[in-house]
Amino acid sequence: MADRSNWLRVLAQASGQQGRPHLGECPDCRLPRLQVRFIVNPDTRVGYALLWCAACLRGVLVSRVRAPEGMPVRLLDDPLSTEGVPDFLRHE
């Protein structure tokens, strides 16, 4: 199983891209099933990111991140912002 730093590298690479990023393969199971969701303040685009693999249900939650321009986001005050995110195993 990959450690948290592998997941953070994937998120950093995704954050450096415009629009919908190519996330590559899961650091744990190596399948190309990664998904990311940024949940942020609409004015600053700062909040947290959820990055997970839809195949093995592992991932990370990272706080104090800025969503890249053009990246789809959900708002912090939206009670449905995490709707559809599975209950995945989080690397601490």
What residue ranges do the domains of the chain occupy?
4-90
pLDDT per residue rounded down to tens, the chain (92 residues): 789 999 999 998 877 666 566 788 999 999 999 999 999 999 999 999 999 999 999 999 999 999 988 889 999 999 999 999 999 999 98
Angstrom distance (rounded) from CA 63 to CA 65: 6
Residue 15: the pLDDT is 75
Give CA–CA dist 55/30, Å, rounded: 9
pLDDT over 90 percentage in the chain: 76
pLDDT, position 13? 85
In eight-state DSSP terms, residue 11 is H
**Which two tokens mark 77?**
């005050």
Q: Evaluate whether 53 touches 6 at the Cβ level (below 8 Å).
A: no
